[in-house]
Structure 1
Amino acid sequence: MENVHVHVVAALIIAALGAGGDLVRSDHVSRLDARLESLERQLLALNSTLQNRISRTAVAFEVTCNRSPFTLYTNEIYKCDSVTLNIGGGYHAATGIFEAPVSGTYLFWASILPYNGHSVYAILYKEGRSLGLAHASVGSAASLSYIVRLTRGQKAWFQNLKQTSIWGFKHSTYGGTLIHQL
């Protein structure tokens, strides 16, 4: 940025010296000064915009169940035993609840495999209101993807409907990520 200013100032000086006549030169220099100030303001505004875009917060979490079978009780919030990713610190392993560290549009997903002979329900909640439901019986996985807007501090989680057991060994996983910060 400094090199650009040096080159612009040098060009302005050369142009002013070559203009001929003190009054003409003075007027010419004044116009060039005004133009330079305008360009500097535009550069500052552009730099500010770029810094805002660069400083956007990254948020993502993913949790997987390693233990198998992994038992879930009626209306229990999913709290699998291995947090594999928690960028931004929004996921709270002790409660199984994600709290949005920034306002934005989030993508949540779950893929839950019921244990032998069981069925499973995975329900996504936002602030106590169910948003989406996935169900699976023997031989298939409950799979859910959902996009939702959260404001900073709002909570979302996955919850089970009735007591069941699910496969661990990384066959059951859930998570979320910020896809657009507001």
Structure 2
Amino acid sequence: MDIYSKMYSLTITFVILVSIFKANCDEPRDDFNSRLIALEKKLERQAVQIISLQKEVSSQENTIADLKEKVDAQDNDKKKMGSEILELKRKLLKQNRMIKHLLKLVKKAPIQQNDIVVDKNDDERAGDIQKVDKTIDKKKRFVLDTVETVAFEATIAGGNIAHHTHIDDKIVFETVSLNVGSGYHSKNGTFIAPVSGIYVFSTSVMMIGASTTDHEMHVIIEKNNAEIAGAYGNSKGAYEHSSVTATIDLQAGDAVAVTVERHQDITFYGDKLTSFTGFLLYAF
């Protein structure tokens, strides 16, 4: 029963009691007044209780409103945390994919492992084998390294002609179209390794038979003045073309060039038909 129903019930009760008291004419007037005063006091006490109950209800309603706000805030926090967890899962998935990709690249990198030398202990009863030397030298491709790659391309361009070269003369490829790492020097036709590693070099030369007294040519790719690979040609007509490619192990500062090895008074044709190129395969 709510507050208003209680008040209504009390009012009806009061009216009934008053009617009864009025109907009882034989009862002395003083007794009637006494009862009436008692009922009025009782009604006052009940009115005070009703007011107290109203305050308590209002307080409980405020408490319920506060709890509702807290529940709503917790729901919002839950949704926010769910979004953050989803984002973290996406980042973790992305990182796992990246790690798998890097592991594949590392597996593809060449690995050189030196032989393992073992020495048996003199006490055969112990049966211990000690490893006295175990060295693993991992060589990574330059694409995984912090070293910038090295590459160059140089030619004898235009209508230029290298006239009457002789034994031990370097062929100078003066026109440079590519020189990453600044290893090639066009003034003397020499490549100087900026970093240690495995390099690939190639040269292609065209001889003009009509412009030379010797109709044969023999050029080499040399490392620090030592022959690595050679190309030979014999000009039976007006022109003769020959080429060679070499893979060379270089330390930083080593020099590579294309040199006339044999035969005198050779003339080489330009127009970008005579070229020298090289690049770093992977760094040490």
TM tier relative to shorter chain: 0.5 to 0.7
Letter in 2 for 1:152: A
Point out where structure 2 has 5 or more consecutive residues left out of the alignment. Answer: 1-83, 90-98, 107-142
CA shift for structure 1 position 55: 2.6
Matched, 1:69 2:161: yes
For residues 85 and 125 of structure 1, what CA distance do their matches in structure 2 show?
Answer: 21
CA shift for structure 1 position 125: 0.9
Q: Which residue number corresponds to residue 152 of structure 1? A: 252
For residues 170 and 273 of structure 2, what CA distance do their matches in structure 1 show?
Answer: 18
Contact 2:209 2:240 (C-alpha < 8 Å) held by counterparts = no
For residues 128 and 114 of structure 1, what CA distance do their matches in structure 2 show?
Answer: 23
Letter in 2 for 1:102: V
What's the % identity of the aligned pairs? Answer: 24
Relative to the length of structure 1, the TM-score reads 0.68
Letter in 1 for 2:275: T
Matched, 1:119 2:216: yes
CA shift for structure 1 position 77: 0.9
Contact 1:57 1:102 (C-alpha < 8 Å) held by counterparts = no
Letter in 2 for 1:155: A
Contact 1:73 1:163 (C-alpha < 8 Å) held by counterparts = yes
Q: Which residue number corresponds to residue 166 of structure 1? A: 268
Matched, 1:82 2:175: yes
Letter in 1 for 2:148: T
For residues 176 and 61 of structure 1, what CA distance do their matches in structure 2 show?
Answer: 6
Moved more, 145-154 or 65-74: 65-74
Contact 2:174 2:187 (C-alpha < 8 Å) held by counterparts = no
CA shift for structure 1 position 73: 3.0
* Among candidates 83, 86, 92, match of residue 185 of structure 2: 92
Contact 1:124 1:156 (C-alpha < 8 Å) held by counterparts = yes
Letter in 1 for 2:161: P
Cα 1:99–1:159 shift into 2, 3 Å:
same
* Among candidates 228, 243, 252, match of residue 131 of structure 1: 228
Which structure would you say has the larger RCO, counting Cα contacts within 8 Å and 6 or more residues apart? 1
Aligned partner of residue 140 in structure 1, secondary structure: strand
For residues 232 and 273 of structure 2, what CA distance do their matches in structure 1 show?
Answer: 15
Q: CA RMSD in A?
A: 2.9
* Match runs of 1:13-92 below 5 Å: 53=144, 55-66=146-157, 67-71=159-163, 72-92=165-185
For residues 146 and 280 of structure 2, what CA distance do their matches in structure 1 show?
Answer: 14
Point out where structure 1 has 5 or more consecutive residues left out of the alignment. Answer: 1-5, 12-42
User: Which structure features the higher share of helix residues?
Assistant: 2
Is the radius of gyration larger for structure 1 or structure 2? 2
Relative to the length of structure 2, the TM-score reads 0.45
Letter in 2 for 1:60: A
